[in-house]
Amino acid sequence: MPDNATDLIAIGKIVAPHGVRGELRVAVLTDFPERFLTMKEVLVEGKGKMTVTGVRPHQTMVLLTLAEVKDRDAAIALRGRLLQITRAELTPLPEDNFYVFDLVGLQVFDEAGTLLGTLAEVLQPGANDVYVIRLANGGEMLLPALRSVVLSVDIAGRRMVVRPPEWDDEA
């Protein structure tokens, strides 16, 4: 088990029981929902490791059966808890792709080395992500997540270097 909670990543949230035999309705919080099909164990927030004995898709959710959850009452008691994995269990990403939770909080600098602010949020409207940068003066800057704008990302160093589009100079 990880030493601290920041090493855990939520992949689902238990939203309700399903039926009377302890099956759980789970909202999927991962871009890789297929991971549920091969899981043998999962960490249940506040309860520890539990054994996965069944998984099946259900509408936009997953129905999950855990060996330790025997009936509807036990399932109800888990409502609202997160299903988590360790960082080591994350699906590897292609080069130059990053998990959103690793990007949020990065210090954002321009090419000249001037601190612009902190990456506060990643919007996912469609064609490409949009980074919301919280500026030192309290304002915001929106930057498209494009190679022409995002020049480098250093997760370990907690910094990102960007070339804001010219239209941002007027903001």
Query: b/e for 74-97, b at 16 or more Cβ within 10 A?
Result: ebeebeebbbbbeeeeeeeeeeee
Under DSSP, the state recorded for 81 is: P
Under DSSP, the state recorded for 168 is: G
To 10 degrees, the CA torsion angle through 29, 34, 39, 45? 0
**Domain boundaries in the chain?**
5-89, 100-165
The model's pTM: 0.71
CATH superfamily of the domain spanning 100-165 = PRC-barrel domain (2.30.30.240)
Model confidence over 87-104: pLDDT tens digits? 888 888 888 888 888 999
pLDDT for res 1: 36
Model confidence over 35-63: pLDDT tens digits? 899 999 999 999 999 999 999 998 889 99
**161 - beta bridge partners?**
109, 152
Task: Say yes or no: domain 5-89 is CATH 2.40.30.60.
Answer: yes
